[in-house]
């Protein structure tokens, strides 16, 4: 058993009197998909924010590849190799699809204090960008403005943008949200194809996708992990069925 890539131990987050994350421990290993499921309000987004550094945990430890995450700023964590897709897509709305991915490629190249060359004509940016778009199947849309894209395409673009940075861990915040059945299927295929390249922490409500992709599942209820194991185990766990799955599976 290799050491986990992402290791959370006893993470707790309080907002005033309310406990949003309750003594949570979680591992994500390289090459695996670890899904996080739970009812709305369970604290999934709060946890993501803590992992990404947007929120500070009250206690607990968080390491990525052995590096302590707690003192690091969000951009720093991203540069360590943690990618993220947002549930409500955060894209550069006025720019084209290609521009968006090129921006990610640019970010990956180090600092951007380059003032002279036209970024939109820079092959060092465009070539990898096109490759990333190819990987998610969006290349035909390269010249379209993000504002004109369909919802499903935007989610794909979110993914392409995150991938362009070549992360080692991808934190996916409900990538299927708002997708119809065909689009969800397509997205699931894309994610399945990525399994070997990048570890994933998948936060999702779509059970089909979760059971199709996940190597392990952790169930979060009121900020605490009530169960954690293989999909097989989770499906049969009575606590989980009682708390959550029964509503979803029926």
Partner 1 sequence: MSETLTHSRARQMALPWLGMLLLFAVPFIVQGLGIPSLLGLATRIAIAALAAASLNVLLGYGGLVSFGHAAYYGLGAYTVGILNAQFVSGDLLFGIIPGTNQLWFTLPAAMLVSGLVAVCLGALCLRTSGVQFIMITLAFAQMIYFLFISLKAYGGDDGLLMRRPNIAPFINLHNSAHMYYLAVVCLIAYVLFCGRLMRSRFGRVIAGQRQSERRMVALGIQTYPYKLLAFVLAGMGAGLAGALTANYAHFVSPDLMHWTQSGDLLIMVVIGGAGRLWGPLLGAAVLIVLETMLSGWTQYWQIIMGPILVLVALYSPQLHRRLDLSA
Taking the least distance from each CB to partner 1, the nearer of 112 and 236 is 112
| DSSP assigned state of 221 | E
What are the DSSP calls for 106-132, one per residue? Answer: HHHTS-----SS-GGG-HHHHHHHHHH
Shortest distance, CB of residue 146 to partner 1, whole angstroms? 9
Q: From the list 118, 123, 143, 247, which residue makes contact with partner 1 (rule: CB under 8 A)?
A: 118
Our finding on whether 72 is near partner 1 (CB under 8 A) is no
Select the residue interacting with partner 1 from 68, 70, 90, 233 (CB under 8 A): 90
Question: Distance between CA atoms of 152 and 53, rounded to whole angstroms?
Answer: 27
User: In angstroms, rounded to a whole number, what is the distance separating the alpha carbons of residues 47 and 52?
Assistant: 9
115 binds partner 1 (CB under 8 A): yes
At a CB cut-off of 8 Å and minimum separation 6, what does 241 contact? none
Residue found by looking up tokens 């992402």 in the block: 6
Binder to partner 1 among 3, 68, 93, 193 (CB under 8 A)?
93
Q: CA dist 26 to 12, 71, 79, 87, Å? A: 12, 19, 21, 21
- Per-residue x/- track, 16-55, partner 1 (CB under 8 A): ------------------------------------x---
Binding part of the chain for partner 1, among 35-43, 86-94, 126-134, 233-241 by CB under 8 A, reads 86-94
Report, in Å, the least distance between residue 245 CB and partner 1. 31
What track of x and - describes contact with partner 1 for positions 136 through 175 (by CB under 8 A)?
-------------------------xx--x----------
The CA-based angle 96-98-102, given to 5 degrees, is: 120
Structure tokens at 14: 């309080």
Beta carbon of residue 147, minimum distance to partner 1 (angstroms, whole number) = 10
Cβ neighbours, 10 Å, residue 194:
18
Residues that bind partner 1 (CB under 8 A): 52, 73-76, 78-79, 83-84, 86, 90-95, 99, 102-104, 106-108, 112-120, 122, 125, 161-162, 165
């Amino acid at each position: 058993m290799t050491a986990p890539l992402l290791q959370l131990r006893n993470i707790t987050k309080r907002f005033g009197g309310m406990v949003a994350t309750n003594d949570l421990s979680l591992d994500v290993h390289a090459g695996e998909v670890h899904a996080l499921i739970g009812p709305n309000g369970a604290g999934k987004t709060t946890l993501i924010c803590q992992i990404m550094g947007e929120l500070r945990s009250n206690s607990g430890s968080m390491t990525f590849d052995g590096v302590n995450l707690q003192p690091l700023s969000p951009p720093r964590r991203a540069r360590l190799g943690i990618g993220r897709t947002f549930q409500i897509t955060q894209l550069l709305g006025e720019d084209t699809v290609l521009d968006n991915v090129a921006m990610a490629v640019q970010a990956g190249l180090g600092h951007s204090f380059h003032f002279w060359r036209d970024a939109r004509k820079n092959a060092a940016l465009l070539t990898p960008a096109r490759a990333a778009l190819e990987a998610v199947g969006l290349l035909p849309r390269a010249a379209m403005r993000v504002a004109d894209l369909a919802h499903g395409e935007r989610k794909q673009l979110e993914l392409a943008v995150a991938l362009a940075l070549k992360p080692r861990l991808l934190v996916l915040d409900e990538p299927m949200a708002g997708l119809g059945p065909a689009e969800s299927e397509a997205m699931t295929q894309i994610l399945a194809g990525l399994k070997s390249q990048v570890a994933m922490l998948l936060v999702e409500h779509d059970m089909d996708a979760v059971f199709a992709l996940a190597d392990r599942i952790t169930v979060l209820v009121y900020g605490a992990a009530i169960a954690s194991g293989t999909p097989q185990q989770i499906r049969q766990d009575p606590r989980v069925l009682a708390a959550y799955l029964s509503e979803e599976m029926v």
